[in-house]
A = this chain, B = another copy of it.
Amino acid sequence: MSDSVLAIDIGGTKLAAALIGPDGDIRVAERVATPPGGDARTLWEALDGLVCDVTGDTAVTGVGIGCGGPMTWPEGAVSPLNMPGWRAFPLRDRLAGRFPGVPVRIHNDAVCVAAAEHWRGAGRGSSNMLGMVVSTGVGGGLILGGRLIDGGSGNAGHIGHVVVDPDGPACECGGRGCLEAVARGPGLAAWAVGQGWVPGRATAEGAETPAYAEAATATGRQLALTAEGVETPAYVEAATATGRQLALDAAAGDAVALTAMRRAGRALGLAIASATHLCDLDVVTVGGGLSQSGSLLFDPLEETLRAHAGLDFARRVRVVPAALGQDAGLVGAAALILAADRYWSPED
Question: Of A60-68, A212-220, A221-229, A267-275, which stretch is located at the interface?
Answer: A267-275
In the assembled complex, 17 residue pairs joining A and B whose CB atoms fall closer than 8 Å, in A order, are A126-B152, A142-B278, A144-B144, A149-B279, A151-B313, A155-B311, A155-B313, A158-B277, A158-B278, A158-B314, A161-B277, A161-B278, A162-B274, A163-B308, A176-B308, A178-B310, A275-B278
Q: How large is the interface on A (under 10, 10 to 19, 20 to 34, 35 or more residues)?
A: 35 or more
- Partner among B149, B151, B175, B307 whose Cβ is within 8 Å of the Cβ of A308: B175
Question: Of A18-26, A43-51, A164-172, A326-334, which stretch is located at the interface?
Answer: A164-172
Interface residues of A (CB under 8 A from B): 70, 126-128, 142, 144-145, 147, 149-166, 171, 173-178, 266, 270-271, 273-275, 277-282, 307-314, 316, 345
Residue numbers in B under 8 Å from A149 (CB-CB): 144-145, 149, 279
Known: A157-B278, A158-B311, A273-B175. A127 touches B145 (CB 8 A): no
Are A176 and B307 closer than 8 Å at their CB atoms? yes
Known: A173-B310, A273-B163. A279 touches B278 (CB 8 A): yes
Known: A128-B151, A145-B150, A175-B308. A161 touches B279 (CB 8 A): no
Residue numbers in B under 8 Å from A280 (CB-CB): 150-158
Complex Cα gap A109–B280 (Å) = 16
